[in-house]
Structure 1
Amino acid sequence: MSESIVVDHATKDFTLRYHRTLKEITVALSRGRAISDTFQAVDDVSFTVNQGESIGLMGLNGSGKSTLLKLIIGVMRPDSGSVLTRGRVSGLIATGAGFHPQLTGRENIFLNAAILGMSEKETQSKFDDIVEFAEVGRFLDTPVGTYSSGMFARLGFAVAIHVDSDVFLADEVLAVGDRPFKKKCLERMQEIRHSGRTVFYVSHSAGSVRRMCDRVIVLEKGRVGYDGEVDAGIRYLQYDEPGQPDLDDEIGADI
């Protein structure tokens, strides 16, 4: 079986600046205070994903999940180590990522598709399907800066899901949007999963991870805390609290 994603001792650092103006920096230095600090969002992370695997990436907020996805999709580079992928990578890593607020939904479909590696001809051939999936209706020809977060998500997901990719990444794609949209997203992602494409899915929902994934990787403060079977990973995070309903479990019952 071929390797789809190889992350080898990847590390990504960010700088926190405590002061912005020259005056603030001067005062801080004169008083012996730090003006900046660094932290490792991704800290010596290693794992391999085979083609066709469905991976659930889980962890508490601030654990480095989104940064890791950005390294995999290629919008960031690790400061040390390496992140290698095989084939075309697509997905939705942030609501509205790759959109220009002053351009219309129609124009942003072509812009976002180009960013994801689709040719203009390829986008034109799939345009009607993208619009139908997005369900933005009469707002298609209005600037996306006027869209709600749910409309942003629908349009972004609609473009990403129509890219012919080998690896599909989804970062909290079900965090916004109404129940019918979430149901439709889960159905389409199940189709992707069963097509043999690699899926890398970030979610806090134990129910959707159980349904979508056959392996879980848990990040803790930028490091891999767990890598293995799904139910054990969810127990590791203590996400299965008694009496806590999971909306995605309810949606999944309808799929």
Structure 2
Amino acid sequence: MTDSIVVENVSKRFTKQYHRTLKQVSVAMMRRQQVTNTFLALDDVSFRVQQGEAIGLMGLNGSGKSTLLKVVQGVMAPDAGSVRTRGRIAGLIATGAGFHPQLTGRENIYLNAAILGMSEAETNRKFDAITAFADIDDFLDSPVGYYSSGMYARLGFAIAIHVDADIFLADEALSVGDKPFKVKCMKKLQEIKDSGVTIFYVSHAAGSVRKICDRVLVLEKGVLGFDGEVEAGIKYVKYDDESEGTDEELGSEI
């Protein structure tokens, strides 16, 4: 089969700043205190994803999941290694990413769709479907700066899923929505998967990963600690029965 994503020996380093102002930095340096520190968000990560696979990316907070998605999408460049992808990439890697707070929801649909590679004609054709999925008609002509985090997610996800893509990325986009919205999104993700699109899905929800994904990757402090079967991956990361209530409720409805 054809490789959709190839990540080879990827590392990404960040610098942590301990002090914000010049005065604080100067005082710390005079006291011979540490001013900055570098850390590896991704450390020599390698894997391949075949076209049509649905990958669940799991790990504790701070393990490097969002950084890996941004590197795959091309938003960030790795400091070492390489990433190769095939086809158009779409998805939602941050709630409200690409939105301008002073523009209306209507205007931001066109702006965000353009960022994701859609032409104006394509957006015009899909506009009604996008707004119907987002279900924010009463606020469509209000500035998105007044939207709640849930409304941001609804609109951002609605735009992303209507992009004709070969790879779909989702980074906890569903965590801020209510249950009916989550169920609707999971059904749509299943449709996207059934169409042959590669899915890269970051989630702490074991039930959702079981329903959508064919394989699980687990990051541990920037290192790929597991790559294999879904159930084994969930056990590896120790997402056990304490979170199964809402997950299984959600899973039973998709």
- TM-score normalised to structure 2 length: 0.98
Alignment correspondent of 1:5:
5
Residue type at the aligned position of 2:16: L
What's the offset of the Cα at 1:137?
A: 1.4
Count residues in correspondence.
254
What is the rounded CA distance, in whole Å, between the counterparts of 1:117 and 1:96 in structure 2? Answer: 17
* Map of 1:26 onto structure 2: 26
User: Following TM superposition, where does structure 1 have runs of at least 4 consecutive aligned residues deviating by more than 6 angstroms?
Assistant: none
- Structure 1 equivalent of residue 134 of structure 2: 134
Who is 1:77 aligned against?
Answer: 77
Contact 1:42 1:222 in 2 (8 A): yes
| Structure 1 stretches lacking a partner, 5+ long | none
Partners of 1:174 and 1:23 in 2: CA distance:
41
After superposition, residues 90-169 of structure 1 pair within 5 angstroms as 90-169=90-169
Asked whether the equivalents of residues 102 and 144 of structure 2 are also in contact (C-alpha less than 8 Å), the reply is yes
Offset of residue 165 of structure 1: 0.3
C-alpha contact 1:10 1:42 (8 A) present in aligned 2:
yes
CA deviation profile, 1:188-242 (whole Å, cap 9, x unmatched)? 000000111100000001100000000000000001000000000001111123x
Cα distance between partner residues in 1 of 2:250 and 2:205: 12
Q: Which amino acid aligns with 1:160?
A: A
TM-score (norm. length: structure 1)? 0.97
2:169 match: secondary structure: strand
Give the aligned partner of residue 207 of structure 2: 207
Whole-Å Cα distance in 1 between the matches of residues 80 and 42 of structure 2?
A: 10
2:250 maps to a residue whose letter is: I
Aligned to 1:170: 170
Instruction: Give the Cα–Cα distance (whole angstroms) in 1 for the partners of residues 27 and 237 of structure 2.
Output: 43
Q: Deviations over 1:150-180 (max 9, x none)?
A: 1000000000000000000001122011111
Shifted more, 126-135 versus 13-22: the winner is 13-22
Taking the aligned partners of 2:173 and 2:52, their CA distance within structure 1 comes to: 20
1:114-147 deviation line (CA, Å, top 9, x unaligned): 1101111111110010000000011000000100
Change (3 A) 1:20 1:2: same
For the 8 Å contact 1:205–1:246, the answer to whether it is kept is no
Given that 2:5 and 2:48 are in contact with CA atoms closer than 8 Å, whether structure 1 keeps it comes out as yes
Instruction: For residue 63 of structure 1, give the secondary structure of its aligned residue in structure 2.
Output: coil
Distance 2:197 2:31 in 1: 56
Structure 2 residue runs without a partner (length 5+): none
Contact 1:56/1:202 (<8 A) preserved: yes
* CA distance in structure 2 between the aligned counterparts of 1:49 and 1:93, rounded to whole angstroms: 18
Q: 1:47 to 1:151 in 2, by over 3 A?
A: same
| SS across alignment from 1:245 | helix
Distance 1:20 1:251 in 2: 43
| Percent identity of paired positions between Structure 1 and Structure 2 | 67
Coordinate RMSD, CA, aligned: 1.0
